[in-house]
Amino acid sequence: MNLKPGEIEQTSLQIIHEELEAGGIRLPEENAGVILRCIHASADFDYAETLRFTPGAVPLAINALRRGVAVVTDTNMAKAGISRPALRKLGGEVFCYMAEDEVAREAKARGVTRAAVSMEHAAGEHPRAVFAIGNAPTALFTLAEAIERGLRPALIIAVPVGFVHVEESKTRILAACGEAEVPCIAAMGRKGGSSIAAAVCNCLLYAAAGMEDPAARGWG
């Protein structure tokens, strides 16, 4: 078969729709796009059940991205997966501090993770950013503490993957965001990852930039 990338995406999303309907699952309209993108990125239908959204998280994040807020990731893999054309159209940038020498030195000196220090630096530089966390639970714990002290980011995407403190970190950040009325999208349980963090970001970026149709991204 000789399908174009845009046709593959549209066909995949249609298959996902059909399989969800066959399973009796109807997605909330406001959050459907994010859920579909996560399933599309992973072929894992569990995201239809495990994704949690604070009230209005999706439209609030889209509006913030339209104002050109930055995106901060906890891995360079997630950073690489963020749509640069959509960011450019919106006047935004994506940052990841994990590999910076200063972050590594400070983390070693303090006996903490680079993810924690990178989030501290990012919160100082970009307090209104969208924070997309797909790997490090310590990044979420750090952000939860910062939110409790007054940080008000545009959105927290809480989707780290793994076994150690992953579930606890998601519960903590969702509670902190709920208390402070900070928008949050969290994948409860152990599943997630950098590809899921990027998928959520791109869904919101495409919506903000009017690039939901693959043709608008030059995919044909």
Distance from C-alpha of 83 to C-alpha of 53, rounded to nearest angstrom: 22
Distance of CA 150 to the CA centre of its chain: 21
Cβ partners under 8 Å of residue 99, min gap 6: 76
Q: Are 74 and 118 in contact (CB under 8 A)?
A: yes
40 is catalytic: yes
Per DSSP, the three-state class of 156 is strand
Residues 6+ apart with CB under 8 A from 60: 154, 155, 183
b/e map of 154-178 (b: 16 or more CB within 10 Å)?
Answer: bbbbbbbbeeeebeebbbbbbebbe
- In sequence order, the β-bridge partners of residue 52 are 186
Q: Which two tokens stand for residue 139?
A: 């990044």
Q: What angle do CA 59, 63, 68 make, to 5 degrees?
A: 145
Catalytic residue of the set 17, 40, 121, 165: 40
The radius of gyration computed from the CA coordinates of the chain, to the nearest angstrom, equals: 17
**Which residues are catalytic, by number?**
40
